[in-house]
Chains A and B, each alone.
Chain A
Amino acid sequence: MSTFNLVESPLEPKHAVYDAIVEAGDYWIHPIRKGQVFRILDLEGNQAVDTLFYNLHDPEERYSAADTVRAQGALYLTAGTRLMSSEGNVMLTLTADTCGRHDTLGGACSCESNTVRYALDKRPMHACRDSFLLALAHWDGEGSTGPMTKRDITSNINFFMNVPVTPEGGLSFADGVSAPGKYVEMRAEMDVLCLISNCPQLNNPCNAYNPTPIRVLIWEQN
């Protein structure tokens, strides 16, 4: 395995303008303004944080996993990665990362994919795409994005999740590389809406079989 490029942040939580806990299996939907710095903290370790971003004023422009991978010519996200939109614009830049590797190929778990991946009777288990749909069902746009639906749920980022791809083209869900207190931090380069599902998956090691809370913080630009 290659060496990770770990970058710490000088920002202190006491100066944050927003500071909240997102319980395991909950969603979080919140605007982040251009210039603000956003941190996701893995409180107890190995927690997958399924994350989508939209242009706050035009949600047809949204995070694009394929454009992000293509633009940096590499699969994994870490400090320095620019999160690209479907229109080829930089939405956020990863400015600090004490975990070292984040996934954007693995997508979000769903009831339907759980039936394929694990067993037909797994359909009732709680899943990220249900959390995304519930979040959007209650999101009225608040004069910004307007209403959003399943059409707006596209390929996401899995912060803290480790999905290594081999040179032979294999893919696996490996044990996490995160740990309690690890975080990833990013600066918004445009006004965005962030949609998170704090993953409830119990069928694979993406959450170490134990989904746990995360902490989300926002700072104003220094």
Chain B
Amino acid sequence: MAQNLNPIPPDRFLWEEKLPGGCHWSGILRRGHALRLTDLAGRANVSALFYNAEEKLERYNMADTLKAQHTAHLTAGHALYSDMGHVLCSIIQDTCGWHDTVCGTSNAAMVRAKYGESSYQTHSNAMYRNGRDGLLIELGKWGLSKRDVVPNVNFFSKVVADDAGVLYFVETDARAGAYLDLRFEMNVLVVLSAAPHPLDPRPDYAPGDVMLTAWKAGAPEPDDLCRNHCPENQRGFYQTEILYR
């Protein structure tokens, strides 16, 4: 697959940081900023939660996101909605085509049962980390806790359902360099864990590293792909813009 179709213009670059596989991260991305997530080795999963940085009771809402856009997966053109009818961020580019948002994260018991014991005492920073604990650690840094965990996005992971609703994890090896660009339409607290997807059937614990690259994308233009994806998004973008007038 051709990668890096659109290099980030150097004059718009803000910062870059590697998120090692399994590890967790949080930070604020402001309206008009964009975050590129790059799957460096081709086996990444990034569990993500999003909160309005100023009113953290407003947060990513899986159901509202899916219902507004009549989709059960996320890709370019889609907006990620809060529970308040606002667009937290939108996917302006995507070389993957499918990101899961219905399967949640792994937890400590699942990781232990699937991959075995691997504590800090025995494995130092190579210990096996799980998605839920990674998110809880980062949430705690912002005064949030278990009550604030909602269904998350799993970037880079594809899970399809058959007619009976049975789920199948689709392995996406051999696409090192795959990326997506999230443009932030609000000032947003971003919380990430790069632990393995909970339905990843591969027996070894080997979550891929991710590069986070922030840059200035600017506010969406009238002809924006995500704004015009559907009439619902036109209303969602309008309601978001009036917050910043």
Q: Which residues of A contact B (CB under 8 A)?
A: 1-2, 60-61, 64-67, 69-70, 73-76, 86, 88, 101, 105-108, 110, 112-113, 115-117, 119-120, 129, 150-152, 154-155, 165-167, 169-173
| B206 smallest CB distance to A (angstroms) | 20
Query: Which of A1, A73, A116 is the one whose CB lies under 8 Å from B81?
Result: A116
**CB distance A115 to B67 under 8 Å?**
no
Contact B165 A165 (CB under 8 A): yes
Known: A60-B145, A69-B167. A105 touches B72 (CB 8 A): yes
A90: shortest Cβ distance to chain B, in Å? 13
Say yes or no: B84 contacts A2, CB within 8 Å: no
Q: List 12 A-B contacts (CB under 8 A).
A: A60-B146, A64-B104, A66-B62, A75-B161, A105-B62, A108-B63, A110-B83, A112-B85, A113-B68, A117-B68, A170-B72, A171-B67
Contact indicator A105/B104 (Cβ below 8 Å) = no
Report the minimal beta-carbon distance from B106 to chain A, rounded to whole angstroms.
9
Residues of chain A contacted by B36 (CB below 8 angstroms):
none
> Which B residues, 145 to 167, have Cβ-Cβ distances below 8 Å to chain A?
145-152, 160-167
Shortest Cβ distance from residue A174 to the other chain B in the assembled complex, whole angstroms: 12
**B-side interface residues toward A, CB under 8 Å?**
57, 61-64, 66-68, 70-73, 81, 83-86, 98, 102-105, 107, 109-110, 145-152, 160-167, 198-199, 232, 235-236, 238-239
Do B71 and A65 touch (CB < 8 A)?
A: no
What would 9 more interface pairs be, CB under 8 Å, given A66-B103, A66-B151, A169-B71?
A69-B102, A112-B83, A113-B83, A116-B68, A165-B161, A167-B160, A167-B163, A170-B71, A171-B70
The interface residues of chain A lying within 8 Å CB-to-CB of B61 are 107, 113
Chain B nearest CB from A117 CB (Å) reads 6
A155 to chain B, nearest CB (A): 5
- From B57, B67, B102, give the contact of A66 (CB < 8 A): B102
Distance in Å: Cβ of A147 to nearest Cβ of chain B:
12
Given the complex, which residues of A lie within 8 Å of B64, measured CB to CB? 107, 110, 112-113, 116
State in angstroms the CA–CA spacing of A119 and B163 once bound together: 31
Give the residue name and chain of the A residue nearest to B68 (CB). A116
User: A112 CA to B160 CA in the complex, in Å?
Assistant: 29
A116 / chain B contacts, CB cutoff of 8 Å: 64, 68, 81, 85, 232, 235-236, 239
B91 → A minimal CB distance (Å): 14
- Are B151's CB and A155's CB within 8 A? yes
Partner of B66, one of A61, A101, A119, A171: A171
Complex CA–CA separation, A171 to B78 (angstroms): 14
Query: In the assembled complex, how far is the CB of residue A80 from the closest CB belonging to chain B, in whole angstroms?
Result: 13
What are the residues of chain B within 8 A of A106 when measuring CB–CB? Answer: 63, 66-67
Residue of A65, A73, A166, A173 with highest tally of chain B CB at under 10 A: A73
Once bound together, how far apart are the Cα atoms of A116 and B198, in whole Å?
A: 31
Q: Taking CB as reference atom, which chain B residue is nearest A2?
A: B164
Set B85, B105, B165, B198: member contacting A76, Cβ < 8 A: B165
- B162:A69 contact, CB within 8 angstroms: no
Contacts of B198 in A (CB 8 A): 70
Residues of the A chain whose Cβ atoms lie less than 8 Å from the Cβ of B149 = 86, 154
For A115, what are the chain B residues with a Cβ–Cβ distance below 8 Å? Answer: 85, 235, 239
Closest Cβ of chain B to A164, distance in Å, is 8
> Which of B67, B73, B145 has the largest count of A CB atoms less than 10 A from its CB?
B67
CB distance from A50 to the nearest CB of B (A): 10
